[in-house]
Amino acid sequence: MLRKASGQEVFVSSFVFLWIFIVNIVAPMVTSAPTWPMYFVTIFFFTMDADVKKISSIFLSGAMGILLAWILLKAIIIMGPVTGETAAVAVLLFIILGLVIVGGNYCPAVFNNITFAYLTIATINIELVEDYAIPWVLMLLIGGGIILTGARGSIAIAEKFLARPHGERAKEV
């Protein structure tokens, strides 16, 4: 179902979009590391209603998802020759998914849907996990912090601009 967005909502989300677009252009110029982990920070932040109280959980559970992908790879390498690769993957996925799903009852800030998403994305090309786990976590923490701070800042700037009387805004434009 579609709803009509107010002009203010469109203005604020346009500022956020512009910031994320700028980061998309600049990030590959300043790093050769894969940047996907930082983009998911903003996706999860906004799907969690932009609740600043959940920011630490986004970073913790994202890092946990990448760590679990690394553990999965290492455990497959160790168990595969003994049990066969298919059996190793099945047993290890049972353990890791159980940890994410059941562990969420005890530690929801670390084991949740975000953990599962980062685990899933990191294991799409599982052979990359060994070389990229640390750069991915760093990109999640540093790049994610930058993009999220900028997104929140762009919201604040847009809202501050909208809070001014209409006549003052017209003079600046």
DSSP type of residue 110: T
Tokens 């750069």 label which residue? 135
Helix ranges (DSSP H) in 31-143 = 36-47, 55-83, 85-106, 113-122, 129-138
> Are the C-beta atoms of 73 and 119 separated by less than 8 Å?
no
The confidence score (pLDDT) of residue 64 equals 98
Tokens of 85: 């690769």
Tokens of 113: 């849907």
Torsions phi, psi of 84, nearest 5?
95, 145
Q: What angle do CA 32, 112, 80 make, to 5 degrees?
A: 70
Can you give the pLDDT of all 173 residues of the chain as single tens digits? 788 888 888 999 999 999 999 998 999 899 988 999 999 999 999 999 889 999 999 999 999 999 999 999 999 999 999 999 999 999 999 999 999 999 999 999 999 999 999 999 999 999 999 999 999 999 999 999 999 999 999 999 999 988 887 656 555 54
Helix (H) or strand (E) holding 21: helix 7-30
Domain boundaries, the chain: 8-172
